[in-house]
Every structure is written in structure tokens, then in C-alpha cells.
């Protein structure tokens, strides 16, 4: 009886209690630090602050100005001597990938892991990627995990999992027999594949429509695999279907002809591109096609012969990047993480770009302004400006002098929520 009386009292009291609490507007936040990198101007704002309301930025500038305008009861996050930058963006990742190293790794990954397990791996990768300061990613193929990347993207959006803002390509499209896994017995006709395998324009069209129907934000095609594979007509059909829906097309291409085919067909970005020639780059410049170098060399050389091959590969990449910069081709950065060892290490790509002759500011732009433009999200992410999501990272030191400090991000905020604060900035 007593319990029932208490319950009734609680029910009666509840509306009165609810009414007595005035609805509070969400509290403003001001994040301040010694420096803020304005990636558009390419200059620091000293003694800077960002006023954030909810998920978005309201004002960016010198702390003395911002603090005068922000509400007096704003929560202040003082990052001391740190340098603030926009949340970083990786335009070429495989967030569902924890593919074992070695020649059989890809087959084993498909053969031994359930889709449910793959989804959980993706959730882990997403969390460590966000913690590394990559607040936005463009995933360019889930390596045989069905549509688990769509599920992960949506779970993150709903707050069920922690991770970056995501655009996902889902399964990708490749010519039959021209993408992983290789070496599977011909008797295993139904063995899962890394991409959706197609032949002919109608199959390509169906694959693009299916992927879009299942939630793809962009379409990835394999224009070549060491040799040209999909035809210009096949790629053109993908571009037609994607562009009709306002979606972009990313093309893996590493041969001069594969790159040319993809660019002529109208893709929005060339991924890797390390066999690129001047004619390809001129065509890309003329058509506004992005280059996402994503040149990570996955196998470290162990013999002198491998070392020679590695050196030649790296020299080719250096030429590619310098020629692209000289011609004014837009470059966005992507690390191509696909194994456990690469996940969350996305900023290694920025250090690699600088090693190949890119000025640090341009490397940072490749992971902010340019990346946002490639994703079509330039009005939301990629720079610290009013109206943009409050995606802020902070590091100790000067990333324009030493790009490698971006490999050690101390503070991460996504949409006004603090994800990580190591608190050692004072």
C-alpha cells in the first residue's frame, strides 16, 4: 500500500515538477587557445576563441572580441598554449577494414569473419579514427562487408556508436575477376567478393542503382587493377546514375589509360593515380577532377631488390604530386587505412605528403578545405567559420613547422561535443 501511495504521489507530482523547471536554452561554449589556424587565409589568429551554440560555430576570432559577444554564462574551455585547427577529413579510407597482413589476408578476412563481426570492427575503427582528430571521413569501399558501412554511418548519426561524420561508398563496382579476392578456387562460385563484380553497361547500371538504393553516399569504381578494366562506357553509366542523385563518383586508377578513361567518363576524383602522366593531369585540371593520392606503400622492403622497387615507386609518387601541384590540380588527402595497423593513423598521410614536397599548409588544406569540397560539404566542415559544425581539434606546437604533431592530437570536439581532452595544454 505504501508503495502504491508513493507511486501515485510521484505521478501527481510529476507534471508540477516538470512545469517548475524552466526550459533552458542549450549553453554556449567558448573554446579558446593561444592560436587558431585559419586554413583559408593560411595564417594564425593569435589568442583565438570560438563561440559555439549547439552543434555549430557562431563566431571565430580574437578571444577579446568573441568573449564580449558570447553569453556571460558560456562554458569556457581554455586550451592554453595549444593550436586549434578544423577537425580533419580523410577522403580515402576503408573504415570496415581490419584485413590481416600477408598474401592470404584478404581471402581469410572474407572467409572467417561474419558481417556482424565486421560491423563491430568498423565501430572500433570509427572510434579510434575520431579520437585521432579525423572528425569526417569519406569511406571508399567497405571491402566485402555488405552494407555494414551504411549501418555504422547511421548508428553514429543516432549516437549509438562513436565515430566521424561519414560518407560511405558501400560495396564499390569492379569488372568481373578484376578485384579482390584473388586466388579463390573456381569451384567456390559464391565466395564473397570485395566489390560488386559486373560486366557490361546494364550490369553496371543495376549495381549503381542498388548501391544508391541501399544508402550509398558516393559510388566507387575500379577503373583499373594494374591494367585498365572497366570501359569508358561502363564508368560513364555509373557517373550518370550517381550524378542524377547528386552523388559523386570516386575512381581507383593507377594506370595512365585507366585514369584517362575515368576522367573522360566524368568521375569526380582519381584515387591513387600513381601511374599518372601529364596529359591525365591536364585533363583533370580542365575538368576539375580531384586527385586523392592515397599512396601508402603497404609492404616495407626487406631485400635490396624490393628496396629498388620501393624507391622507384616513391619517386613516381613524388613526381605525381609535384606535377599535380604545379598544374593546379586539386588534391584531397586520404590514408587508405584497411588493416588494423592503419586504422586511426590517418595523419601519417599528411606527414607523407610533406615528405614528398608538399608545403605543410597545403597538406592541411588537403585534409580540410579541399577534402570538404570534394565531399560537397564545404558549407559544413573543413574550416572554422560561422555556420559550420563545431568540429575542432587542438595540438601542442606549430603544425606549419612540424606536420607530424598532427599525429598526436590532444583535443577533439565533434559538433560541439568534446570527444577527447588530454588536458595538458596549460
Contact positions toward Zn ion, by CB under 5 A? 336
CB nearer to Zn ion: give 58 or 254: 254
Alpha carbon dihedral 230, 231, 233, 236, in 10-degree steps, equals: 50
CB of 326 to Zn ion, least distance (A): 25
Q: Are 136 and 381 in contact (CB under 8 A)?
A: yes
201's grid cell: 553497361
Whole-angstrom Cα distance, residue 332 to residue 222?
19
CB nearer to Zn ion: give 320 or 336: 336
CB nearer to Zn ion: give 121 or 336: 336
CB of 54 to Zn ion, least distance (A): 35
Q: Are 393 and 346 in contact (CB under 8 A)?
A: no
Number of residue whose CB is nearest Zn ion: 336
CB nearer to Zn ion: give 143 or 234: 143
Q: Are 60 and 67 in contact (CB under 8 A)?
A: no
Query: b vs e for 350-368, b when ≥16 Cβ sit within 10 Å of the residue's Cβ?
Result: bbbbbebebebbbbbbbbb
CB nearer to Zn ion: give 280 or 336: 336
CB of 52 to Zn ion, least distance (A): 34
Whole-angstrom Cα distance, residue 230 to residue 248?
18
- Phi, psi values for residue 37, rounded to 5°: -90, 115
330's grid cell: 586539386
CB of 294 to Zn ion, least distance (A): 6
Q: Are 59 and 364 in contact (CB under 8 A)?
A: no
Q: Are 290 and 328 in contact (CB under 8 A)?
A: no
CB nearer to Zn ion: give 336 or 349: 336
CB of 299 to Zn ion, least distance (A): 15
Residue keyed to cell 542549450: 26
CB of 339 to Zn ion, least distance (A): 11
What is the DSSP-derived secondary structure letter of residue 61?
Answer: E
Give just the sign of the alpha carbon dihedral 297, 174, 286, 136: negative
Beta strands in 282-370 (DSSP E): 290-292
CB of 93 to Zn ion, least distance (A): 8
CB nearer to Zn ion: give 162 or 336: 336
CB nearer to Zn ion: give 65 or 348: 348
CB of 253 to Zn ion, least distance (A): 12
139's grid cell: 569511406
Amino acid at each position: 500500500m505504501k508503495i502504491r501511495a508513493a507511486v501515485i504521489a510521484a505521478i501527481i507530482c510529476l507534471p508540477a515538477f516538470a512545469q517548475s523547471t524552466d526550459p533552458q536554452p542549450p549553453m554556449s561554449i567558448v573554446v579558446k587557445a593561444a592560436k587558431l589556424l585559419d586554413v583559408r587565409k593560411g595564417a594564425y589568429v593569435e589568442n583565438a576563441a570560438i563561440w559555439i551554440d549547439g552543434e555549430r560555430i557562431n563566431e571565430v576570432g580574437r578571444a577579446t572580441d568573441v568573449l564580449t559577444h558570447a553569453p556571460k554564462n558560456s562554458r569556457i574551455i581554455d586550451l592554453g598554449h595549444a593550436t586549434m585547427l578544423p577537425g580533419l577529413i580523410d577522403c580515402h579510407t576503408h573504415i570496415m577494414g581490419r584485413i590481416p597482413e600477408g598474401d592470404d589476408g584478404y581471402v581469410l578476412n572474407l572467409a572467417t569473419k561474419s558481417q556482424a563481426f565486421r560491423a563491430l570492427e568498423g565501430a572500433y575503427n570509427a572510434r579510434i579514427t575520431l579520437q585521432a582528430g579525423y572528425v569526417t571521413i569519406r569511406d571508399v569501399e567497405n571491402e566485402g562487408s555488405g552494407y555494414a558501412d551504411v549501418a555504422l554511418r547511421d548508428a553514429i548519426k543516432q549516437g549509438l556508436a562513436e565515430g566521424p561524420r561519414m560518407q560511405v561508398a558501400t560495396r564499390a563496382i569492379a569488372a568481373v575477376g578484376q578485384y579482390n579476392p584473388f586466388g579463390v578456387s573456381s569451384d567456390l562460385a559464391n565466395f564473397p567478393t570485395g566489390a560488386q563484380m559486373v560486366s557490361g553497361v546494364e550490369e553496371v547500371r543495376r549495381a549503381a542503382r542498388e548501391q544508391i538504393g541501399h544508402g550509398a553516399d558516393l559510388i566507387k569504381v575500379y577503373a583499373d587493377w594494374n591494367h585498365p578494366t572497366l570501359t569508358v562506357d561502363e564508368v560513364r553509366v555509373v557517373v550518370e546514375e550517381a550524378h542524377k542523385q547528386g552523388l559523386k563518383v570516386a575512381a581507383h586508377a593507377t594506370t595512365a589509360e585507366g585514369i584517362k578513361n575515368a576522367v573522360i567518363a566524368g568521375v569526380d576524383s582519381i584515387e591513387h593515380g600513381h601511374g599518372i602522366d601529364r596529359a591525365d593531369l591536364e585533363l583533370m585540371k580542365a575538368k576539375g577532377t580531384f586527385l586523392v593520392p592515397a599512396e601508402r606503400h603497404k609492404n616495407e622492403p626487406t631485400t635490396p631488390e624490393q628496396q629498388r622497387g620501393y624507391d622507384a615507386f616513391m619517386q613516381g609518387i613524388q613526381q605525381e604530386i609535384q606535377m599535380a601541384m604545379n598544374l593546379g590540380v586539386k588534391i584531397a588527402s586520404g590514408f587508405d587505412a584497411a588493416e588494423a595497423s592503419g586504422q586511426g593513423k590517418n595523419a601519417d598521410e599528411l606527414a607523407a605528403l610533406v615528405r614528398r614536397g608538399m608545403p605543410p599548409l597545403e597538406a592541411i588544406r588537403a585534409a580540410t578545405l579541399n577534402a570538404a569540397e570534394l565531399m560537397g560539404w564545404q558549407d559544413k566542415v573543413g574550416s572554422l567559420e560561422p555556420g559550420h559544425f563545431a568540429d575542432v581539434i587542438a595540438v601542442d606546437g606549430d603544425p606549419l613547422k612540424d606536420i607530424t604533431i598532427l599525429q598526436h592530437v590532444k583535443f577533439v570536439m565533434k559538433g560541439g561535443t568534446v570527444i577527447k581532452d588530454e588536458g595538458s595544454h596549460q
